Amino acid sequence: MRIVTTIAEVREAVRQARHAGQRIGFVPTMGYLHEGHLTLMRQARSEAGFVVVSIFVNPTQFGPNEDFARYPRDLERDEALCASVSVDLLFHPAVEEIYPQPFRTSVKVAGLTDRLCGASRPGHFDGVATVVSKLFNIVKPDVAYFGQKDAQQVAVIQRMVADLNLDLEIVPVPTVREPDGLAMSSRNTYLSPAERQAALVLSRSLAMARDLVMAGERNMSALAAAIRAMIAEEPLAEIDYVEIVDYAALQPVERLERRALAALAVRFGKTRLIDNITLEPS
């Protein structure tokens, strides 16, 4: 595995791989890798001839009171994990490499970013769309892989790719969970043992919602209320949002008539966790 830090090095490595006839697979990450990230990389490895991974903690997607400074980082560990799944190229740029100053351009995807995490974290998805569009322009992959745990992010990136006619395929990969059901996240490391145990209410509440749908529940306001009620029983949980939205448009739905997304964000102490499931009417 080759490790590079500059845009020029990435472009040259990808140029050589493409000249050799290889399909380019790309997994963008913020590092502190876990099994969820490795699942994306394994799928890329199985479908592409040349796999690129980026590790970049993107400052523009963090708000002024968020955890950019304390976001977990361990490059040596991440390098070993990438090598273990046969990544070809690891791109670890400095902030100055991605955002040379003055930097005055941003990408905004309207309509999909004003609800859910977009309402709770103003400007977050502008930062995501901007850095992902830059990384796509740097790597120029044929296919890029994203985890479905960040379902709103996937929807935003898919819309950006379609609207800007970017020549690549976006592959969403199902959420990877711990054996007890907690969705894997780099932020799980922030949790105290008590908070870690309390956080299991997230997957339990979503599983309960799916069971209610399977039993015939179609009133989505009632379903969201049931999810909130279960989470509210956990003393360490502070709900940011619980919403059920159309899977494609991310707009609220009252009745389950087509595929929908039950999404939530909940704080445990200083740690904000997100999770979601898809709901099908049949």
- Return the active site residues: 37
Give the per-residue SS3 of the chain.
Answer: CEEECCHHHHHHHHHHHHHCCCCEEEEEECCCCCHHHHHHHHHHHHHCCEEEEEECCCHHHCCCCCCCCCCCCCHHHHHHHHHHCCCCEEECCCHHHHCCCCCCCCCCCCCCCCCCHHHHCCCHHHHHHHHHHHHHHHHCCCEEEEEHHHHHHHHHHHHHHHHCCCCCEEEEECCCECCCCCECCHHHHHCCHHHHHHCHHHHHHHHHHHHHHHCCCCEHHHHHHHHHHHHHCCCCEEEEEEEEEECCCCCECCECCCCEEEEEEEEECCEEEEEEEEECCC
How far apart are the two ends of the chain, measured CA to CA in Å? 45
Measured distance CA(250)–CA(246) in Å, rounded: 5
